[in-house]
Chain A
Amino acid sequence: MLTVLFDGVAYGMLLFILSCGLSVTLGMMNFVNLAHGAFAMIGGYATAQLMNEAGVPFLACLPVAFLIAAVLGLVLERTLYVRLYRKSHLDQVLFSIGLAFVAMSTMDYFFGAQQRLITLPDFLRGQFEVFGARIGVYRLFLIILCGLITIALQLFVSRTRIGSQLRAAVDDARVAGGLGINVSRIFAGTFAFGSGLAGLGGALGLDLLGVDPVFPIKYMIYFLIVVTVGGTRSMVGPFIAALIIGVADVAGKYYVPQVGAFVIYTVMVVILMIRPEGLMGRRATR
Chain B
Amino acid sequence: MRKSLVRALGALAATMLLSTTAHAEDTFKIGLIVPLTGPFASIGRQVENGVKLFMQQHGDTVAGHKVQVIIQDDTGTPDVSKRIAQEMLVKDKVDALAGFGLTPLALASAPLATQAKKPMVVMAAATAIITEQSPYIVRTSFTLPQVTLGIAQWAAKNGVKKAVTLVSDYGPGHDAAKTFKEVFSANGGEVVEELAVPLANPDFAPFMQRVLANKPDALFAFVPTGLGSAFMKQYVDRGLAQAGIKLIATGDVLDDENLNQTGDVALGLITSHHYSAAHDSAMNKDFVPAFKKVSGGIRPTFMGVGGYDGMHALYAALEKTGGDKDGTKLVEAMKGMSWESPRGMISIDPDTRDVIQDVYIREVKRLADGELYNVEFDRIPEVKDPVKAAKK
Contacts and interface: CB of A to CB of B under 8 A. Distances in A.
Q: Do A and B bind each other?
A: yes
Chain B CB within 10 Å, residue with most, of A208, A218, A251: A208
23 contacts: A3-B209, A7-B206, A7-B209, A14-B203, A112-B42, A115-B42, A115-B229, A118-B261, A127-B237, A208-B203, A209-B202, A210-B226, A214-B38, A214-B39, A214-B41, A218-B39, A249-B203, A250-B206, A251-B206, A253-B207, A257-B195, A261-B169, A261-B201
B261 A116 contact: yes
Interface in B186-223: 195-203, 205-207, 209-210
B207 A112 contact: no
A207 B199 CA distance: 18
B258 A114 contact: yes
A127 B198 contact: no
A77 interface: no
Contacts of B197: 253, 257, 260
Given A108-B41, A125-B237, A260-B198, A115 B226 contact: yes
B233 A207 contact: yes
Interface stretch (B103-111, B115-123, B172-180, B262-270): B262-270
Contact of A112 (B45, B196, B209): B45
Contacts of A116: 261
Nearest to B265: A119
B67 interface: no
What does DSSP make chain A's interface, helix, strand, loop or mixed?
helix
B167 to A, nearest CB: 12
Which 3 A-B pairs have CB atoms at the shortest separation, nearest pair first?
A119-B263, A261-B198, A113-B41
Nearest to B257: A114
Contacts of B200: 261
A254 B226 CA distance: 23
Interface of A: 3-4, 7, 10-11, 14, 52, 105, 108, 112-119, 125-127, 134, 136, 138, 207-210, 212-214, 218, 249-251, 253-254, 257, 260-261
B298 interface: yes
A257 B265 contact: no
Given A127-B238, A254-B210, A115 B205 contact: no
A257 B201 CA distance: 12
Chain A CB within 10 Å, residue with most, of B205, B236, B298: B205
Nearest to A116: B261
A112 B296 contact: yes
B239 A134 contact: yes
A52 B261 CA distance: 8
Given A119-B262, A218-B39, A260-B198, 13 more contacts: A7-B203, A7-B209, A105-B37, A108-B37, A117-B229, A119-B264, A125-B236, A127-B237, A249-B203, A253-B207, A254-B210, A257-B197, A261-B198
A4 to B, nearest CB: 6
A241 B287 CA distance: 51
A209 B230 contact: yes
B196 A257 contact: yes
Contacts of B236: 125
Interface string B335-374: 0000000000000000000000000000000000000000
Contact of B206 (A4, A14, A127, A213): A4
Nearest to A136: B237
Contacts of B257: 114-115
B203 A250 contact: yes
B298 A114 contact: yes
Interface in B10-29: none
A250 B204 CA distance: 9
A249 to B, nearest CB: 8
Contacts of A3: 209
Contact of A210 (B205, B206, B207, B230): B230
Contacts of B44: 113
Contacts of A11: 203, 205
Contacts of B264: 119
A224 to B, nearest CB: 14
Given A117-B258, A210-B230, A253 B41 contact: no
A4 B199 CA distance: 20
Chain A CB within 10 Å, residue with most, of B196, B236, B237, B265: B237
Contacts of A115: 42, 226, 229, 257-258, 261
Contacts of B237: 125-127, 136, 138
B45 A113 contact: yes
Nearest to B239: A127
B283 to A, nearest CB: 24
Contact of B209 (A4, A105, A114, A117): A4
Contacts of B202: 14, 208-209
B229 A210 contact: yes
A208 B233 CA distance: 8
Contacts of B199: 261
Contacts of A4: 206, 209
